[in-house]
Amino acid sequence: MRGVNSTLDPRRTVAELQELRRLTSDEQGAQRVAFTPMWVKTREWLRAKLAALPLETHVDAAGNLWSTLKGRSEKSLLIGGHMDSVPNGGWLDGCLNVLAGLEVLRRIDAQYDHQPPMTVRLVDWADEEGARFGRSLFGSSACSGNLDLAEARKLVDRDGVRLADALAGVGVAFENVKDSRRELANAAAYLELHIEQGPVLLDLGLPLGVVLGTFGVERHAITFHGQAAHSGSTPMNRRRDAFLAAARMSPEIYEIARRHGGVGTIGSCTTKPGIVTSVVEDCRITLDQRHLDAAALATSLAEARAASGRFASEGGVDVAWERLWNIEPVLFDPRLLQFCEESILETCGKVHRLPSGPLHDAAEVARAGVPTVMMFVQSLHGISHNRIEDTSEEHLELCVRAFDRLAEKTLQAFA
Ligand SMILES: [Zn+2]
């Protein structure tokens, strides 16, 4: 590849991330919640940086900010991230992707004298986190076409503000958000860099990883129904204890994940009547199972269902399931996975392939049919959505270099 890294300055990315942190964080962490004044200020700051390049910049129908460096071909290489954060969030989640993408744009612009072989576009997705309205991936799902408008129309924040009104406040008309889809018209490939948000790369001692795809998710509520009875007068062998049956699900979920891979979590448990002097009549638990492989996910779910029926009948209680939400696994593009792996190997000599547990905007773009890949950089504590989120400066610089290589390989191959 000619002249790669000639003008790339990963240290500038680190400095800009630090600048952004000073501007948009307090002692509790990052405060760039989507559609708030701080988020607007964040975008103004980003726009000032973008203005130094010969880009066309606009906000689309869903509030996503697009910056386009026109190339010799209309076909576009997309690079994305999100400037919004959760309240009290980390300094890297989302904005690392955007600022690394900005540095890659600078390098491409300089190297190709303002006219790369194909068009390159940087997107800052609106409200990836869903922190305020409880709906993640808002901007990217509007763009991919997967946003359920009827569902989104009902969303309100804690203060009773409707999503539609919050959007109007930043100049976005709710009923038109899916017009964002037109932005993908010439999309040839989509690349996203992200902090891992988990401890896998940390535990392996590796700076960078290739992301295979995002987990499919099955989310259910399981309610066991028994009989309330006095805790003093009811002999142990006469009880129909809903909690006993529900509790047996916990080790079972670990066993299922051990057998088939993936992860499983019982994240909540509520009991009725929920008093110290009564056997539990109703016990409702929630189950969240995730896997990269659709068949393995289906098997894991089927086994959990079968186990719940077994525990119910053994305990003389009933069980009912209610699906809360589900999404299919999203697998990234094999050719881009290869480019990503090569880029990492050329940059630091070691690589690991891993799935992503959390969802990302990249999953939405992939679901829209655009070849997609993500790269992860190590998270120092394996923790995200927390002010202690961190990555070493050395690894931040490495990820910008590797991500730039990935962009260049993609540019050459897809032009
Ligand atoms: Zn993120």
Q: Which helix (H) or strand (E) holds 309?
A: helix 294-315
Question: What pLDDT is recorded for position 140?
Answer: 97
**Ligand 1 centre and the CA of 128: distance in Å?**
7
Query: Does the pLDDT at position 3 exceed 60?
Result: no
Question: What pLDDT is recorded for position 255?
Answer: 98
State the pLDDT confidence band at 325, using cuts at 50, 70 and 90.
Answer: confident
Q: What is the pLDDT of residues 343-352, one digit of tens each?
A: 999 999 999 9
Residue found under tokens 């992200």: 194
Residue type for position 259: R
Q: CB within 8 A of 372, min separation 6: which ones?
A: 189, 190, 191, 192, 332, 333, 336, 362, 365, 366
Q: What is the pLDDT of residues 197-243, one digit of tens each?
A: 999 999 999 999 999 999 999 999 999 999 999 999 999 999 999 99
Question: What pLDDT is recorded for position 2?
Answer: 46
**Ligand 1 centre and the CA of 132: distance in Å?**
15
Q: Which helix (H) or strand (E) holds 355?
A: strand 353-356
Residue 97 has which token pair? 């992707």
Residue 414 has which token pair? 């897809």
Residue found under tokens 């409200």: 127
Question: What pLDDT is recorded for position 117?
Answer: 97
**Ligand 1 centre and the CA of 138: distance in Å?**
12
State the pLDDT confidence band at 143, using cuts at 50, 70 and 90.
Answer: very high
Question: What pLDDT is recorded for position 6?
Answer: 73
* Whole-angstrom Cα Rg for the chain: 24
Q: What is the pLDDT of residues 162-206, one digit of tens each?
A: 999 999 999 999 999 999 999 999 999 999 999 999 999 999 999
Query: Does the pLDDT at position 384 exceed 90?
Result: no
Mean per-residue pLDDT, 338-364? 96
Cα dihedral 401, 403, 408, 411 in deg (nearest 10):
-170
**Ligand 1 centre and the CA of 31: distance in Å?**
14
Mean per-residue pLDDT, 306-313? 98
**Ligand 1 centre and the CA of 203: distance in Å?**
21
Q: Is 224 exposed, middle or buried (0-12, 13-18, 19+ CB in 10 A)?
A: buried
Is the C-alpha dihedral spanning 119, 194, 400, 350 positive or negative?
A: negative
**Ligand 1 centre and the CA of 304: distance in Å?**
30
Q: What is the pLDDT of residues 73-92, one digit of tens each?
A: 999 999 999 999 999 999 99
